[in-house]
Structure 1
Amino acid sequence: MIFREDGTIKYTLTRSNRAKHVRLKITRTKGLEIVVPETFQKAWLTPILEKRIEWIRKVAKRLELPASIGDMPPLIPEKIFLNALNYEYAVRCVSPTTISTKLVDAEKIIRTATGVLSIEVDGGILLPNTVTDEVQAELLRCWLVRCGKEYLPELLEEASAQVGIPYKKVQIRLQKGRWGSCSGRGTISLNARLLLLPADLLQYILLHELAHVRHPNHSHAYWNFLATLDARALENDRAMNDAWKHIPLCFSM
């Protein structure tokens, strides 16, 4: 996906008037993205890529990126496993008529902003087979947010009671760059994708954000305090560098 057959690097170059330095970013959905200042000359890029080649290979391997676009997994998986809850859901693409006949029994009814409908029923997710894969992926992301709002506040409350750290309120979103955050007023925001992570990593993020209620930065005092809540905090923090490998492609967008 990043390295072509001839060994050259495939990337997307973006010029930004806010960029002061060259920034390289690798994701499972977009591959290598390079953001440069407006005045940056493309000829300057070759030595930068040569210098960062080992980093690029390392990150690509860590994210388990396929060698080519043709090796990409399907956008819509056959199953979705919420690791943190040990729940598994089968994903089926069916006719809208089939979905309509099962609406009464649905545990969750999901709609996109344009009104496309899907449901969770009988331990599975039914997606309409009359829309594109991208729309089906949007429905799955909407479903995941619903699951996050259903389960994550309770899990956070349990963690809060366990360590004796109260918070003001919790918000569930589908953030692109953060697993969680804590405002100065004690509002904790959690990424619905956390449900896809192993339970120990989810628990780490909950404790990580609760620790920010007491220490609103990443100072030495913060890390020392977090270690009293989670003895494996540093180990879990390093493991979070690879957390995206647990995220199916449809939820990586």
Structure 2
Amino acid sequence: MRLIRMLRRNVPLSVGLGIFWLAAMVFVAFFADSIRPYGITAMDLRSRLALPGNPGHLLGTDELGRDVLSRLIQSIRVSLVIAFGATIISAVFGTTLGFLAAKFRGTVEHLVLVLADFQAALPFLIMSLAVLAFFGSSMTLLVCLMGFYGWERYARIARGLAISASAQGYAAAVVQLGATPLRVYMRHILPNVASTLIVSMTLTFPEIILMESGLSFLGLGVQPPETSLGNMVGFGREYLTRAPWIMLAPALVIMLTTLSISLVGDWLRDKLDPTVR
């Protein structure tokens, strides 16, 4: 009760609802196999396009009689795995390049900044369509491809913060004590800039969800028999007038998840940014 009262005082209602929704999505992703009532490929042709509210199919069925709720649960797992994996890759790759630019300066810094400018100017969706059309779509390729989305933000942020931290006394002190550059950046500079990078991750995460959904909607993302939120929206658009629940259920999950992450990210930024206080 004390923890609940503390959260009520310090967390706005909208942020609390966002945290609750994200926690529910993580729970669904972890225990999808246990809570999914049917297999994602299990068909019941006698119950094709069944309306939501059916005791056997709470969210109805699709054109092949597959349970929409079961496919939605699996789609949440797949989309969150892709978004989480891609966000981690993007953050690690961009932060590493930013630290390298701050450490070596000169040619290395110029090269990193040129690559960041090129990435920012590149129409990522068009490039993704070309790569997936040429190499074919797989989960591993999709995660790695999404991992290159937004890395330039982390590179710029990490470079600027690392240069600022290096100019302060604590970094110079540990260098004179004999610490290696790797130890200086990993043990002393990274913890001091981690809060800003974490907030950046909360901004990249929903963008990757939307990007994956767009690619799956166009048929170049997650391939059947596997399913994702964008995949469900893409297949459901053909039945929008006859069975709108096929598309509306995953679309609603995409909207609420991205909104929740944005709300929590804004709240974290205000809490972790010392200039706001």
Task: State the TM-score bracket (shorter-chain normalisation).
Answer: under 0.3
Bigger relative contact order (CA 8 A; separation at least 6): 2
User: Rg bigger for which structure?
Assistant: 2
Q: What TM-score do the two structures reach when normalised by structure 1?
A: 0.26
| Greater helix fraction, Structure 1 or Structure 2 | 2
Which structure's residues are more often strand, by fraction? 1
